[in-house]
Copies of this chain bind each other. A is one copy, B any other.
Amino acid sequence: MRSQLEEQVLEKIRPGPAERKHIAEVAGQLLEIARSIGGAEAMIVGSVARDTWIHGDRDLDLFLLFDPALTRQDLEEKGLPLAKEIAGKMGAPYFQKYAEHPYINATVDGLDVDIVPCFRVESAAHIRSAVDRTPFHTRYIQDRIGPFVDDVLLLKQFTKTGGVYGSDQMTEGFSGYLCELLVLSCQGFSGLLESAAGWRPGTLIDPEDHRTKDFSEPLVMVDPVDPGRNVSASVSLDRMFEFVELARGYLEAPSPLFFFPPDDDLLTKEGLVQVIREKGTVLLGLIFPTPPYIADIVVPQLRRSQDAVRALLERNGFVVHAAGCEMQDLSCILLFELASGSAPLARRHTGPPVWNQQNADKFSLKYRDGPASQLLSGPFIEEGRYMVEVRRRFTEAEDLLRSPEVLEVSLGKHVRVSLEKGWKVHRDGDCWSTGSAPFITRFFQRESPLTRIRRLGKKRQ
């Protein structure tokens, strides 16, 4: 049933024998050391344990399952030293990292190894920390995935190429576990694509038919090991339908480009200046140092800040054509493409209905006795309400974005702290830098993953 194209793809993405042997050896050593030290049950989890990793992946997850009778503090006090000891005995350099709990990240023989203490709970419905679920996921998939391993590899490669793989806050896409469950529930890669082509918001898949609540996300995959959890809670409406469109596009005209897209050109600074000139828009970038937190904390705040500054611009009479944001290592950028960088001095301001006498009198008095320099005309009456024309505070969007008004809007906490130390506003070509070029290129390409694949396909012809 597999097409020749898909077989060719699989040959490229299946891990080779040497790769398998190498990972299996490292995994074996880690387990052996952990067991020899004792104190916790050791278990390899993740895609290596499930045999669903792709050639070139370098991630290995060792979980240390502790007695659930321990306190969370006990877990840290016993778990971290054990993890460090294991890394030490492997002779591997390591760091401490933080998710809900601290864990150890070590580099072993070129592999990126996470050593994660967790609780050995009875069932996934009784977890005490998000990571406690992972062993249950691994067992569930291990028991069933055998006949569908190749399908999972194809789906992972397909979603990665399409830019919809990853449940992090920036991507808002499909996790590896979700890919596995989708393949299982549709009996393979082709079955899933055919099913996805007809998805609607609110699509529900419940493999164990045990859902205990309603979910509001556009795509719902009830976790087979936890009836109260939606595995695809991270998938945004747009990522979901980008995947739907990719599925339709692939079914209509399969091509290797859905798995291995050719490189694309980045916009140069001169190219950016030319694009903006042609479109007749104005580009403003608000740039500030990246807050010292992980992406999953910073990115949602960045999105909220983007929406808040967009609303600030619009309240001040600037039409926002498009907006975007990116967190880079050193700096974050909020990008606004405006229909125009200027607004007229005159601004209409709507007051209360004239029949609401108390408010109407207050409004009228304010503008009669207020500083004449602010009032341009009025009060007059339109549709029964008082109206005035007043002077706009900012007739240039750049001035507004440079003003302290920016700090008055609803930014996330860490973004606000960073902005309070200062920010820069760049215009048009000056928004471009080597670091921001990929982001700015995507911002101006403004195309769905399928549109992109089709464009690159044409370009290659």
**A 418-461 to B, binary, CB cutoff 8 A, 1 in contact else 0:** 00000000000000000000000000111110010010000000
Closest to A317 in B: B339
| 9 pairs of A and B residues whose beta carbons are closest in the complex | A280-B344, A279-B346, A241-B354, A377-B446, A280-B345, A200-B355, A237-B384, A281-B344, A380-B448
Q: CB distance B446 to A378 under 8 Å?
A: yes
* A244 touches B (CB below 8 Å): yes
For the complex with contacts A201-B384, A321-B344, A377-B447, 13 further pairs of A-B residues with Cβ separation under 8 Å are A198-B357, A199-B355, A238-B382, A241-B354, A248-B361, A278-B345, A280-B395, A317-B339, A368-B454, A378-B451, A379-B447, A379-B448, A380-B446
A71 to B321, CA, bound (A): 65
* A226 touches B (CB below 8 Å): no
Copies in the complex: 2
- Which one of A197, A342, A451 has the greatest number of beta carbons of chain B within 10 Å? A451
Interface residues of A in 271-329 (CB under 8 A from B): 278-281, 317, 319, 321-322
Count class of interface residues, chain A: 35 or more
A278 to B346, CA, bound (A): 8
- Which one of A244, A280, A322, A368 has the greatest number of beta carbons of chain B within 10 Å? A280
Q: CB distance B354 to A245 under 8 Å?
A: yes
Q: CB distance B237 to A380 under 8 Å?
A: no
Q: CB distance A244 to B280 under 8 Å?
A: no
A395 to B280, CA, bound (A): 9
* A343 touches B (CB below 8 Å): yes
Q: CB distance B380 to A447 under 8 Å?
A: yes
In the complex where A319-B319, A354-B245, A368-B454 touch, is A381 in contact with B346 (Cβ < 8 A)? no
Q: CB distance A381 to B345 under 8 Å?
A: no
**A 363-375 to B, binary, CB cutoff 8 A, 1 in contact else 0:** 0100010000000
Q: CB distance B355 to A344 under 8 Å?
A: no
**Given the complex, which residues of B lie within 8 Å of A237, measured CB to CB?**
383-384
A339 to B346, CA, bound (A): 8
Closest to A282 in B: B344
* A242 touches B (CB below 8 Å): yes
**Given the complex, which residues of B lie within 8 Å of A245, measured CB to CB?**
354, 364, 381
Q: CB distance A381 to B448 under 8 Å?
A: yes
Q: CB distance B244 to A451 under 8 Å?
A: no
**Given the complex, which residues of B lie within 8 Å of A268, measured CB to CB?**
none
In the complex where A237-B384, A378-B451 touch, is A197 in contact with B357 (Cβ < 8 A)? yes
* A376 touches B (CB below 8 Å): yes
**Given the complex, which residues of B lie within 8 Å of A355, measured CB to CB?**
199-201, 241, 244
A240 to B384, CA, bound (A): 8
8 Å CB contact of A344 from B200, B279, B342: B279
* A194 touches B (CB below 8 Å): no
* A340 touches B (CB below 8 Å): yes
A418 to chain B, nearest CB (A): 28
Listed A/B pairs (16) with beta-carbon separation below 8 Å: A238-B382, A238-B384, A244-B354, A245-B381, A279-B345, A279-B346, A279-B376, A280-B395, A317-B339, A321-B346, A321-B348, A339-B344, A377-B447, A378-B447, A378-B451, A381-B448
A67 to chain B, nearest CB (A): 46
* A398 touches B (CB below 8 Å): no
* A206 touches B (CB below 8 Å): no
A399 to chain B, nearest CB (A): 14
A228 to chain B, nearest CB (A): 26
* A59 touches B (CB below 8 Å): no
Q: CB distance B343 to A339 under 8 Å?
A: yes
Closest to A388 in B: B446
**Given the complex, which residues of B lie within 8 Å of A361, measured CB to CB?**
248
* A76 touches B (CB below 8 Å): no
A288 to B357, CA, bound (A): 42
- Which one of A237, A340, A380 has the greatest number of beta carbons of chain B within 10 Å? A380
* A389 touches B (CB below 8 Å): yes
**Given the complex, which residues of B lie within 8 Å of A199, measured CB to CB?**
355
**Given the complex, which residues of B lie within 8 Å of A345, measured CB to CB?**
278-280
